[in-house]
Structure 1
Amino acid sequence: MEAVDNKPGKLGGMFRALHYRNYRLFFVGQGISLIGTWMQQIALSWLVYRLTDSVFLLGAVTFSSQIPSFILGPFAGVIADRFERRKVLLVTQGLSMLQASTLAVLVLTETIQIWHVLTLSAVLGTINAFDMATRQAFVVQMVDQREDLSNAIALNSSMFNMARLVGPSIAGVLIAAVGEGMCILINAVSYIAVISSLLLMRLKPFERVVTDRKVWQSLQEGLAYTYNFAPIRALILIVALISLFGMPFSVMLPVFARDILHGDANTLGFLMGATGVGALAGAMFLAQRKSVVGLGRVILFTMPLFGVALLAFSFSTVLFVSLLLMLFVGFGMIVTMASCNTLLQTLVEDDKRGRVMSLYATAFMGMAPIGSMLSSSLAEIIGVSYTLAGCGLLCALSAIPFALQRTRLRRMVQPIYERLGIVPEIARGLQVASNLTAPSQEK
């Protein structure tokens, strides 16, 4: 893998991962594609709510698109560890392009029905189960120096959230002007960018790991490794709790935009855009950090911040106040998720990376649909405001078990950081690690 003039100051410390040619290609291609992805997500949410006026069906669409990650995610990790990751990504991106194209045709020809949306969402969820686990494990192949890995993950998050800012803003305008179909068509075309970037990369020859273990044995090994090492287990649990209680907020945003804030598709775009601004600020905050040391303490701050911001947003009826609170929601969400990702990538052994990151993806994408169905069902009974308030409170309280484990987890992480050179001296390491609140590792 090539690094282009990896001297400090070339692009600045905040953007140091962009020194690597392969990572630059990935960054640009994925960035373009993600703008299309966010456009489609906004368009689909607005379409479903326009056609059905049902909060429950909004949750059902999210459930169908994400539950495959819960079921298939661990198996996807085995695939990511056994096969060339670039080829796996080329297949998943090509299939995603086909899915978006099919959806666009149905919407543009006005033949779309809710069962089409549910079916195609489930198809995309199945594809994403393999794509996300592989993509998380693939990042390490694009960055030669391990010390730049945390910066690469932070820049990934900034890219994701820049797209979250741009995509919904464009989608809001296009939906009002020409309808939802054009947004979905643009997403289908945007996959050309990421597929091209993958084809242009110069990677080291793939060396297949010869193993006589069956898929089920490999899966069991990955699960045992994750469960038996408390720091990794704690990080996966944090991601699962945030996804279960916190991520359903996005399902309910169309209801807040139309029925509580009395707006239209543009209002929904503004809310998502504000979340993107906050998340982008969070990603840039992480990108400027020089080390993973101290990320545990950061997580203990941002988890409650995310929950409290959601709680306050649930009772806001003023657009300006809602947009302001969405900034904090976006910041708290992305810093928590990205910090967990970064710590995991730092701690995990290379030969188990795909399987552990698939469990991260399962916790991230797999618990969200369960939360979406539970929250949307509850919202039909008690209303979206009280439902979201409860979600926010549970997110804030989820930080407590993590805080109680701080000392024990810090001691377990310490030897790994010493071995990797992240904490070069034992005495200095113990002093610095006193600021570490938990395990290691977004996305």
Structure 2
Amino acid sequence: MANTTETVPSKTSRYAHAWRALRHRNFRLFFTGQSISLIGTWMTRIATSWLVYRLSGSALLLGVVGFAGQIPTFLLAPFAGVLVDRLNRRNLLVWTQVLAGIQSLIMAALTLAKVITIHEIIALSAFQGLINAFDMPGRQSFLVQMVEDKQDLGNAIALNSSMVNTARLIGPALAGLVIAAVGEGYCFAIDGFSYIAVVVSLLMMQVPASTIKRAATSMFEQLKEGWSYVTDFSPIRTILTLFALISLMGMPFIVLMPIFASQVLHGGPHTLGYLMGASGVGALISAISLALRKSVRGLTTMIQISAFLFGSGLILFGLSHHLALSLLLMLVVGFGMMQGLAASNTVIQTLVPEDKRGRVMSYYTMAFVGMAPFGSLLAGFLAHRVGAPHAVMITGTFCIIGATWFTTQLKAIRRVMRPIYIDLGIMQNPMEPAMEDQAGNN
């Protein structure tokens, strides 16, 4: 079997460490395939929101569709995490990508035939949510198998975030152009065919058989064990609690973007693309800044700061009625959102043992995606009652409250994390220099 890790040249630029995860062949393949597929995914997200709002004109239905697309993840993610720890992760991801491509092509066919209804959009969104319940924890857990050197894991997560947000920058802008020119159906079609790239990249990978372990205990015992680990281990419990609050109150701002584009800023699909693109630029800047980091140390502080930035950006965005200012604030929102997302992911993946990785990442998926359906409903309800600007201001305030609470927990969770970081070689044992000095004096 070919070696999947290539040697980095001795003479490298001062920023070469920012790309070190790409020396792993499997990760390079994944990075290439996903870069293509994710552009289509973001096109579908924007096209779905615009299609729902065009057909219904209802802020509440935007929330309902978001709820339908995310509630399966909330309900199924813990069980999916157990399966991720028991199955071949690469094969699982191949199936999720194939099914996601089929879902997008069905959306395309119905839309292009001009027969699609809100009920069908809700049903197909729920089907995509079912796929995501297995895909997201599987993909996050598979990163370790793609990047053999755990020291490169944080960089792989940061590069993955960069990839997601490059697509987030290109996809919405491209979707706005395609929707204006030929309609939403072609966005769904492009997305459907884009999944071919990631399926091919997965099939080309060389995954050692030794990394695939079969569980000896029952699924129920594994489920119970995973839940106990997440709830008893304070660093992961605290990070996931903050992340669940941010996902509930903050993340659903995306479902309200068509309202801001059309009613608040008096634009069209191009304006929606610009807003989402600006958020993507901020998120991309965040991901690049994380890729430039050489260590995971200090990331808990970044989680704290990002939550404050995210909440503040949402409040100010709700007050803005000018496109230029709104685009600037979307940069702040995107930066805060991605900084918290990627930093949380990196810390959790660094701390969690391999045999529990799938289950822990399933709870991460629940916090990230699983809480969002309730947030989508809440955002849609608030926008319906008090308007979209006031809705994001309210949700942004709750994000700041969450950041304040997390700040009060930092000292305690760092005390728990320190011995683990020392064991992993991330931090130096403070006793070692003293012992060396004593030995030298002797």
- For 2:363, give the aligned amino acid: L
Which of 253, 266, 270 aligns to 2:270? It is 266
Which of 8, 28, 47 aligns to 1:6? It is 8
| Larger displacement relative to structure 2 (378-387 or 330-339) | 378-387
**1:40 maps to what in 2?**
44
Offset at residue 145 of structure 1 (A):
1.1
Cα–Cα, structure 1 residues 220 and 109, in superposed 2: closer, same or farther, change >3 Å?
Answer: same
- For 2:80, give the aligned amino acid: A
**1:198 maps to what in 2?**
202
Offset at residue 211 of structure 1 (A):
3.5
- For 1:112, give the aligned amino acid: I
Which of 380, 385, 388 aligns to 2:384? It is 380
Offset at residue 341 of structure 1 (A):
0.2
* Residue 78 (structure 1) aligned with residue 72 (structure 2): no
- For 2:98, give the aligned amino acid: G
Which of 163, 170, 182 aligns to 2:167? It is 163
* Residue 90 (structure 1) aligned with residue 116 (structure 2): no
The SS at the match of 2:273 is helix
**1:436 maps to what in 2?**
none
Offset at residue 205 of structure 1 (A):
1.3
CA distance in 2 between counterparts of 1:209 and 1:379 reads 48
Offset at residue 31 of structure 1 (A):
0.9
Offset at residue 210 of structure 1 (A):
4.0
**1:56 maps to what in 2?**
60
- For 1:337, give the aligned amino acid: L
The answer to whether the 8 Å contact 1:423/1:429 transfers is no
Offset at residue 237 of structure 1 (A):
0.9
Offset at residue 426 of structure 1 (A):
2.7
CA distance in 2 between counterparts of 1:283 and 1:422 reads 21
Which of 106, 112, 116 aligns to 1:112? It is 116
CA distance in 2 between counterparts of 1:56 and 1:125 reads 19
* Residue 175 (structure 1) aligned with residue 176 (structure 2): no
CA distance in 1 between counterparts of 2:401 and 2:140 reads 28
- For 1:84, give the aligned amino acid: N
Offset at residue 6 of structure 1 (A):
3.0
The answer to whether the 8 Å contact 2:145/2:211 transfers is no
Offset at residue 401 of structure 1 (A):
1.6
Cα–Cα, structure 1 residues 316 and 388, in superposed 2: closer, same or farther, change >3 Å?
Answer: same
- For 2:343, give the aligned amino acid: S
Offset at residue 94 of structure 1 (A):
0.6
Offset at residue 428 of structure 1 (A):
8.1
**2:439 maps to what in 1?**
none
CA distance in 2 between counterparts of 1:56 and 1:164 reads 24
**2:319 maps to what in 1?**
315
Cα–Cα, structure 1 residues 390 and 201, in superposed 2: closer, same or farther, change >3 Å?
Answer: same
Offset at residue 7 of structure 1 (A):
4.2
Instruction: Please list the CA deviations of residues 387-416 of structure 1 after superposition, one character each: whole Å capped at 9, or x if unmatched.
Output: 110011111111112111111111100110
Instruction: Please list the CA deviations of residues 152-176 of structure 1 after superposition, one character each: whole Å capped at 9, or x if unmatched.
Output: 0000000000000000011101100
CA distance in 2 between counterparts of 1:399 and 1:134 reads 29
**1:128 maps to what in 2?**
132
The answer to whether the 8 Å contact 2:168/2:280 transfers is yes
Alignment of 1:29-428 (within 5 A): 29-206=33-210, 208-427=212-431
| Larger displacement relative to structure 2 (234-243 or 255-264) | 234-243
Runs ≥4 residues deviating over 6 A = none
Identity rate, percent:
50
* Residue 19 (structure 1) aligned with residue 18 (structure 2): no
The SS at the match of 2:365 is helix
CA distance in 1 between counterparts of 2:329 and 2:312 reads 9
Instruction: Please list the CA deviations of residues 167-205 of structure 1 after superposition, one character each: whole Å capped at 9, or x if unmatched.
Output: 001110110000000010000000000000001111111
Offset at residue 383 of structure 1 (A):
1.0
| Structure 1 unaligned residues grouped into runs of 5+ | 431-443
- For 1:381, give the aligned amino acid: R
The SS at the match of 2:188 is helix
The SS at the match of 1:111 is coil
CA distance in 2 between counterparts of 1:251 and 1:103 reads 19
The SS at the match of 1:409 is helix
Offset at residue 385 of structure 1 (A):
1.0
| Larger displacement relative to structure 2 (379-388 or 185-194) | 379-388
The answer to whether the 8 Å contact 2:248/2:371 transfers is yes
The SS at the match of 2:209 is coil
CA RMSD in angstroms, aligned pairs only: 1.4
Between the two proteins, the alignment pairs up a number of residues equal to 430
Cα–Cα, structure 1 residues 108 and 6, in superposed 2: closer, same or farther, change >3 Å?
Answer: same
The SS at the match of 1:40 is helix
**2:438 maps to what in 1?**
none
CA distance in 2 between counterparts of 1:428 and 1:132 reads 40
- For 1:339, give the aligned amino acid: A
CA distance in 2 between counterparts of 1:399 and 1:208 reads 38
| Structure 2 unaligned residues grouped into runs of 5+ | 435-442
The answer to whether the 8 Å contact 1:418/1:426 transfers is no
The answer to whether the 8 Å contact 2:249/2:399 transfers is yes
CA distance in 2 between counterparts of 1:133 and 1:207 reads 17
CA distance in 2 between counterparts of 1:205 and 1:263 reads 53
TM-score, with normalisation over the residues of structure 2?
A: 0.95
User: Which protein is bigger by CA-based radius of gyration?
Assistant: 2
Offset at residue 302 of structure 1 (A):
1.2
The answer to whether the 8 Å contact 2:279/2:335 transfers is yes
Cα–Cα, structure 1 residues 265 and 21, in superposed 2: closer, same or farther, change >3 Å?
Answer: same
TM-score, with normalisation over the residues of structure 1?
A: 0.95
CA distance in 2 between counterparts of 1:203 and 1:68 reads 29
CA distance in 2 between counterparts of 1:19 and 1:429 reads 34
